[in-house]
Structure 1
Amino acid sequence: MPDVQGPVWRWDVTSVRELAALRAGVRDCLDVDRRGPAAHSPSGERLLLAVEELTSNALRHGELPVRTAVTAGDEGWLLSVTDAAGDRPPAEAVDRDPALGGLGLKLTATLAGTYGWVTDGDRKHVWAYLPFTPGDLPPDAADD
């Protein structure tokens, strides 16, 4: 997992019904943190989609508690979603009808600069590093 230094935003999520609130929470953090791109930027939208995809995967295929964390670095975000199922995440869906679901890891791989997973004891950590898109930083980001 990449070593990213910066503020860490954390959420405990217990059901798919909480995904909209999670997305709103991440959006709020992005809009308050003036060091990086805003939520409505292409970079911010990529992060929001990856947060929702990996968290919903953990809720559907893992075990509670599910924890989502975003570390806001100087050049990108490290997204980490953990759950209490210490086994391998489901395989990426390849050549599957999108209507059948199961495309979260494949979609995240497309959105992220790099991604992966590790186990730590009885917890699985699925992570993605999403670098900022050039031009997405606010003009005053370097001044903060």
Structure 2
Amino acid sequence: MLGAAAPTATKDTMPHHDDPRESDEGLTPSSPSARYQTLRRWTLSTADGIRTVRQQLRAELGLGDSPSGTLGTVPERMILVASELAANAIEHGRPPTIVTLGRDGSRYLLEVADHDPYSVPVLAGHRAPGAGGFGLQIARRVGQDVGWYTTGTTKHIWVTFSPHD
């Protein structure tokens, strides 16, 4: 499977300004593994639906039951990425936005699709605070693998998560 490994950063080590992970370059097109089984799918037309996705992801991943359980920080990271990517798709893509949660054993796949297969996802580089465009950067930092692909009518951004990252 192709995809970018999530960079690691701590308070003491931030990416250098020439780091390609911090550029306005696009992601390399790739598809996630077909081994993931769909657990849940949400269809959104407006940003109001993002709150519902967050709440239902929390429930689906059992965050309310045992926040320090076997999934570690996966639920919190996945909710953050789902929120960011869905907001990007709603703002910059064409409706409806489709958020899909998949699972293969302990690994999870989060996929966000919009109906604009002609635009290429771009990583936000050095932008002023508040300028936006950091959803893909967040996905790369907190996810395991990140990629995108298109079908005839949709563009899909996908991120994998594992409690063993």
TM bracket, shorter-chain basis: 0.7 to 0.9
**Which amino acid is 1:55 matched to?**
A
CA contact (8 A) 2:38 2:100 kept: no
Q: 1:111 aligns with which of 120, 135, 142?
A: 142
The alignment status of 1:9 with 2:40, answered yes or no, reads: yes
Q: What is the correspondence of 1:1-144 to structure 2 with a 5 Å cutoff? A: 1-31=32-62, 41-133=72-164
Q: How many residues align?
A: 130
Match of 1:138 in 2: none
**Which amino acid is 2:95 matched to?**
L
What are the ranges of 5 or more consecutive residues in structure 1 without an aligned counterpart?
A: 135-144
Match of 1:140 in 2: none
Q: Following the alignment from structure 1 to structure 2, what is the Cα–Cα distance between the partners of residues 108 and 21?
A: 20
Structure (1 or 2) with the greater helix fraction: 1
Q: Following the alignment from structure 1 to structure 2, what is the Cα–Cα distance between the partners of residues 7 and 100?
A: 34
Q: Following the alignment from structure 1 to structure 2, what is the Cα–Cα distance between the partners of residues 29 and 108?
A: 20
- How far off is 1:90 after superposition? 3.7
**Which amino acid is 2:117 matched to?**
G
Q: Following the alignment from structure 2 to structure 1, what is the Cα–Cα distance between the partners of residues 101 and 38?
A: 8
**Which amino acid is 1:89 matched to?**
V
RMSD: 2.2
Deviates more, 1:87-96 or 1:42-51: 87-96
SS of 1:93's partner is: coil
1:55–1:89 CA distance, 2 compared to 1 (3 A) = farther
Deviates more, 1:89-98 or 1:75-84: 89-98
